[in-house]
Amino acid sequence: MRKVHIEAQRFEKYVLNKSFEDKDWNPSKEDSRKLSELIDIWFESHGRYLKGASQRVRTLRNLDRRLGSPIAKKVNPTSYMIERSSRIESGVTPKTCNNELGYLNAVFNELERTQTIDYSNPLKGVRPIKISEKELSWLTSEQIEELLSTLDKIGNEHVSLITRVCLSTGARWGEAEGLTAKNIRNGQVDFTDTKSGKNRSIPINDTLFKQLEEHMQNHGRFFDCIKSFRKYLKTTSIKLPQGQSSHVLRHSFASHFIMNGGNILTLQKILGHSTITMTMRYAHLAPEHLKDAEKFNPLAY
């Protein structure tokens, strides 16, 4: 009888151990939280600290509503792709849709990483839309002269100076527009709180430096004037692809920098690119690259 009792105890321990190991035997309650709830959790714990947080969470909440506010675990890839196709047909750009997918993936991946959810991203198999690389538009020296002359005649000091800063430093319009007196010192401009999160200090010529100092003494800052720039640009003979306006100034700086013999790695630091891949878009404009095309083409021998 004693032997039977010991075997019974051993069997009891075995069953208890198996009960904790076997999820089918002791299933946990299925996660029924809605996608909107997870977006809120993600935002409060992580998203609020990201650059452009308010715009990102607004995009996520709009996407949740378009998907019908589903239970997060049951987000259906097919339903998502159908909704995305409908967006594209309505005129939304593929880039915008890819950004939305990236934002949603980031929510699931972060919550899985922190064990807030115990399942994988239901959209992990959905691929972004492949986008053909657009040709980068940049202004010729003649076009730059026309643009600056037009702005000077109009007399909007804010637009004129911001344009010159962008052309002289490769800054984005918003970065240049956000300059204050403390960012202009020692013959250079300091860009802080940038898109990449990296601060940059770029030297400028004495004339522009003095103009900026005087402007800040008189105004303290730049006024919001991107709409004015776009309006003035239309009065010139310069024609740009749809969707491009002020960013052509940044492309123009980078293009002329390389064409004039600038180093690609130096350009990466000036533009604040996180990887060299983005900067390499301008590499084909390098003088040695162009000479190689002439030297090594099949008809050169």
Catalytic residue IDs: 172, 195, 247, 250, 273, 282
pLDDT reported for residue 17? 64
pLDDT reported for residue 178? 93
- Please name the fold of domain 141-295: hpI Integrase; Chain A (1.10.443)
pLDDT reported for residue 133? 67
pLDDT reported for residue 234? 94
Global pTM value: 0.68
Place of tokens 């630091």: 269
Q: What is the pLDDT along the chain (301 residues), one digit of tens a residue?
A: 555 556 666 666 665 565 555 555 555 678 999 999 999 999 999 999 988 889 999 999 999 999 999 999 999 999 999 999 999 999 998 989 999 999 999 999 999 999 999 999 999 999 999 887 666 789 999 999 999 999 999 999 999 999 999 999 999 999 999 999 999 999 999 998 777 777 899 999 999 999 999 999 999 999 999 999 999 999 999 998 877 899 999 999 999 999 999 999 999 999 998 889 889 988 888 877 767 766 766 666 5
